[in-house]
Amino acid sequence: MTRIAITGAAGRMGRTLIEAVLNDPDAQLASVVERPGHALIGSDAGALVGRGTLGVPIRDSLVAALGDGVDVVIDFTTPMATLEHIGICRHHSTRMVIGTTGLSQSQRGVLEQAAWDIAVCAAPNFSVGVTLSLKLVELAARVLGDSVDIEVIEAHHRHKVDAPSGTALALGEAAARVLGRSLEDCAIYGREGHTGARDRNTIGFSTIRGGDIVGDHTVLFAGTGERVEITHKASSRMTFATGAIRAAHWLARQNRGLYDMQDVLGLKGLLKQQ
């Protein structure tokens, strides 16, 4: 039984994570956390998901939550909150699953440092399908090489605050890495006006925000006379939540280190260059 704490519990993803834990017979909802001052602090976590009384109070402190007996903290919050939480988890030797997007390079460095002491699984997307798509993008980039133009198109709901999405960036990084490029140097984020002919060494990103789109991602490999499209469409946040719970179970068996969803699914060694 993996005892799980969830931060940002009153948010859209937090509520979905609670449901996913309650639906998993091998997981236990040990604690939930919301920001200090939230109207539901002190209430039972069941109020967040319409499940009646669960016997788990909504706490305003992760330190207090860890006192409830926690194996893994699952954090889908904001970069600043995640950095605070990973510091607490590192101090208390508690494993952490991180789905927060929009982390800067220096903020990712904080995760790497913490992973010297605790087990951390961080991914921009915990969907099994997206994780598989990352491998398919690597394969396509390896086969098609520099003979195609690569574009990443993503769409999300109107409330998403970062762009491009973390998943879109991860897909672009997967292609760039195989091709020996630095995404920081070759990424083009949108186009406007007289742009001139497209540079084949670039990777383009297009972002759509609107309505209640959960998450759509397409990587387009456009050549002369043909194109390959790798597309993943999410219709429910539960896809991400069940993947995060799967990661938590896996992480509970690790002592330290920085991992991602490909480690959880055993995909890391596939397609490795010989």
User: Do residue 19 and residue 117 come from a single domain?
Assistant: yes
Q: Is 157 a catalytic residue?
A: no
- Inform me whether the pLDDT recorded for 271 exceeds 80: no
State the average pLDDT over residues 1-25: 96
Q: Which of 38, 92, 135, 160 does the annotation list as catalytic?
A: 160
User: Do residue 145 and residue 162 come from a single domain?
Assistant: yes
User: Do residue 242 and residue 230 come from a single domain?
Assistant: no
**Residue pLDDT, tens place only, 177-212:** 999 999 999 999 989 999 999 999 999 999 999 999
Q: How many residues comprise the chain?
A: 274
- For the chain, the average pLDDT equals 94
**Residue pLDDT, tens place only, 68-122:** 899 999 999 999 999 999 999 999 999 999 999 889 999 999 999 999 999 999 9
Q: Is 45 part of any domain?
A: yes
Q: Is 89 part of any domain?
A: yes
Q: Is 248 part of any domain?
A: yes
Say what the pLDDT of residue 270 is.
Answer: 65
User: Do residue 184 and residue 219 come from a single domain?
Assistant: yes
What CATH number did the domain enclosing 47 receive? 3.40.50.720
Q: Which of 85, 156, 217, 249 does the annotation list as catalytic?
A: 156
Q: Is 160 a catalytic residue?
A: yes
Domain containing 149 equals 128-234
Count the domains in the chain.
2
User: Do residue 78 and residue 210 come from a single domain?
Assistant: no
- Taking the C-alpha atoms of residue 214 and residue 195, their distance in angstroms, rounded to an integer, is 31
- Inform me whether the pLDDT recorded for 173 exceeds 70: yes
Q: Is 273 part of any domain?
A: no
Q: Is 272 part of any domain?
A: no
Say what the pLDDT of residue 102 is.
Answer: 85
Q: Is 54 part of any domain?
A: yes
Q: Is 274 part of any domain?
A: no
Helix axes 12-23 and 238-251, enclosed angle (nearest 10): 60
User: Do residue 158 and residue 176 come from a single domain?
Assistant: yes
User: Do residue 9 and residue 111 come from a single domain?
Assistant: yes
Q: How far separated are the first and last CA of the chain, in Å rounded?
A: 39
